[in-house]
Structure 1
Amino acid sequence: MTTRPPIALSIAGTDPSGGAGIHADLKTFTARGVLGTTAITALVAQNTHGVSRVYGIDDDFVSDQLDSVLDDMPVDATKSGMLGSRSLVELVVARAAQSQLGFYTVDPVMVATSGHRLLEVDAVAAVRDHLLPVSDLITPNLPEAALLIGDDEPVAQNPQEMLAQARQLVDRGPRAVLLKGGHAIEGDVADVLVTAEGTVTEFTHPRVATPNTHGTGCTLSAAITAEVAVLKRERAVDEVGSDLLHEAVDNALNYLARALESAANWQVSLDPKGAHGPVDHQVDIVRR
């Protein structure tokens, strides 16, 4: 009798330092028990100090990579990270509209922590108008949420404003929004999950004091994608309801919290001043 593992796909750029992008996604997929597959959208020269160069991949080759995976494997869940250009956004929109991606999570990567723009200006409208409506979940941080709502929208400063902005984003078409509160300056971290059905859940957890936050957004969206893939296979369902999504998000946030805590005292850079190292993706994997 044959069987198969849950399968997840990441559509994103690279990170040679291993903390973010495709590299973080694959490590997270492995840690959360799924077979990870990828389509690389850009080669990115970056490390714990920031992005120094981006080399875009031709749209045709990104499409060929997607064909290689989707024509051969039943993908349970997909996440996209750095898409970069309007044409790449439209390419992924077409795949999602054809129901090829399974449960689809959008991590709307726009600007690196270092300030380097990772999404072309003319692509923002494509994300707002075309990508959000075909997504099952989007996972913006506070600055990304404000930008997705409108160029002049202020960044949310409190839980009430976060909830209001999450609802505005749901109105743009995604089935659910997880608005991440990690960019708030003080206190516990509060993330709010709002679904198109109207359910609202706030996840609160202690803030981990650490400079090693490189790739946290990538890691969280990958962990949610993996958790959805696992739960879909375990429960033999195709549709992801609010209860299953809530469980997947909760599991993923707990994993990220452990990964942050485990790497809180790491120093991986030769020049630690101003460096932001990775989280410990292997926190749940036995080491030798």
Structure 2
Amino acid sequence: MINQTPQVVTIAGSDSGGGAGVQADLKTFQAREVFGMSIFVALTAQNTYGVQDAFAVPESFIEAQFNSLASDFNIRAAKTGMLADSAVVKTVVKMYKQVDFGPLIVDPVMIAKGGHPLLEEEAVATIKEELLPIATVLTPNLPEAEVLIGEKITTEEEMMAAAATLQELGAKNVIIKGGHSQKREASDFVLLEDGTKFWLTAPRIETANTHGTGDTFSACITAELAKGKSLEQAIITAKQFIQAAISQPIYVGHGHGPTNHWATIIDDIQVTKV
């Protein structure tokens, strides 16, 4: 029975306020009943008001964390979050190619909810050139997708075209999240490697408690894949999970509060095949 429990790892930055980053990922892993581990690549001084300070972990220590986990655990899926700068991205890509951590879910974190940049500008090119080609799933929100393709995205047709462009850059499966749109419903567009396309739609919830939504969504996909679920089902479950985490609020801090990782999933997601 050694190493039979589903195991996953988050490769990301720490949120000292607990609502996003590695902390949100680990809470999601626990809620979805997989054993979560972490590789810290950056640290932040952060609360619900925003990020007050941040710095990257030395590359040698990132490598040491990869090697430590690879020597002992049976990691079935992994995800990235905040990667800080080009040197960190390059180190993560190099090490991921050396280990067997299963499918890689890339959440291209760029800006914190309070507006603080979490990725240096020159690192965007490194992500496009080196990280996307090893990504099993890419989960940008609208602003992140716009940065990656270098174009504005305002319509559903442009979301679909952007997903295709990101797939051409190397990401096998792409989910463009529509939470930043101004529409009455929050719709995400999914483009899978086999050509399957569908929209995931849920009622928009007016709340300030959305800190860590992207981390939680991508972490849930990671957990479901580690348990052997199909990619399509993992994505749908993740949408249900984040919708529940937003719609069943908790009240922490004075600013952009965190989502509720112990929320109960309810089936209020509409799946529309294209």
The TM-score with structure 1 as length reference comes to 0.89
Q: Is the 8 A contact 2:3 2:73 kept in 1?
A: no
Which of 221, 224, 228 does residue 225 from structure 2 map onto? 228
Partner of 1:267: 251
DSSP 3-state at the match of 1:44 = strand
Give, in whole Å, the separation in 2 of the partners of 1:107 and 1:71: 25
| 2:18 maps to 1:18 | yes
1:209-288 correspondence to structure 2 within 5 Å: 209-231=206-228, 244-263=230-249, 266-269=250-253, 272=254, 275-284=255-264
Unaligned 5+ segments in structure 1 are 233-243
Partner of 2:269: none
Partner of 2:44: 44
Partner of 2:162: 165
Q: Is the 8 A contact 1:182 1:189 kept in 2?
A: yes
Q: Is the 8 A contact 1:96 1:135 kept in 2?
A: no
Q: Is the 8 A contact 1:95 1:101 kept in 2?
A: no
Q: Is the 8 A contact 2:113 2:256 kept in 1?
A: no
Q: Is the 8 A contact 2:114 2:256 kept in 1?
A: no
AA aligned to 2:262 is: Q
Give, in whole Å, the separation in 1 of the partners of 2:103 and 2:264: 25
Give, in whole Å, the separation in 2 of the partners of 1:95 and 1:57: 15
Q: Is the 8 A contact 1:214 1:279 kept in 2?
A: yes
Unaligned 5+ segments in structure 2 are 266-274
Give, in whole Å, the separation in 2 of the partners of 1:68 and 1:99: 11
Partner of 2:66: 66
AA aligned to 1:280 is: N
Give, in whole Å, the separation in 1 of the partners of 2:101 and 2:91: 12
| 2:78 maps to 1:94 | no
AA aligned to 1:141 is: N
DSSP 3-state at the match of 1:24 = helix
Q: May I ask how many residue pairs the two structures share in their alignment? A: 265
Runs of 4 or more above 3 Å deviation: none
Partner of 1:130: 130
AA aligned to 2:111 is: V
Q: Is the 8 A contact 1:258 1:283 kept in 2?
A: yes
CA deviation string 1:32-72 (max 9, x = no partner):
01000000111101111111100221010011111111121
Which of 184, 188, 208 does residue 191 from structure 1 map onto? 188
Give, in whole Å, the separation in 2 of the partners of 1:75 and 1:128: 25
Give, in whole Å, the separation in 2 of the partners of 1:163 and 1:66: 35
CA deviation string 1:126-150 (max 9, x = no partner):
0011100011001000010010112
Give, in whole Å, the separation in 1 of the partners of 2:3 and 2:161: 44
Give the superposition deviation at 1:99.
5.3
Give the superposition deviation at 1:85.
1.3
CA deviation string 1:194-249 (max 9, x = no partner):
023221111111112211000000010101100110126xxxxxxxxxxx111000
Question: Does 244-253 or 111-120 show the bigger shift?
Answer: 111-120
DSSP 3-state at the match of 1:267 = coil
Give, in whole Å, the separation in 1 of the partners of 2:33 and 2:169: 32
Give the superposition deviation at 1:2.
5.1
Give the superposition deviation at 1:267.
3.1
Structure with a larger share of its residues in strand = 2
Partner of 1:236: none
Give, in whole Å, the separation in 2 of the partners of 1:68 and 1:3: 15
Q: Is the 8 A contact 2:80 2:106 kept in 1?
A: yes
The TM-score with structure 2 as length reference comes to 0.93
Partner of 1:175: 172
AA aligned to 1:70 is: A
Partner of 2:271: none
DSSP 3-state at the match of 2:105 = strand
Give, in whole Å, the separation in 2 of the partners of 1:209 and 1:259: 13
DSSP 3-state at the match of 1:189 = strand
CA deviation string 1:8-39 (max 9, x = no partner):
00001111111000000000000001000000
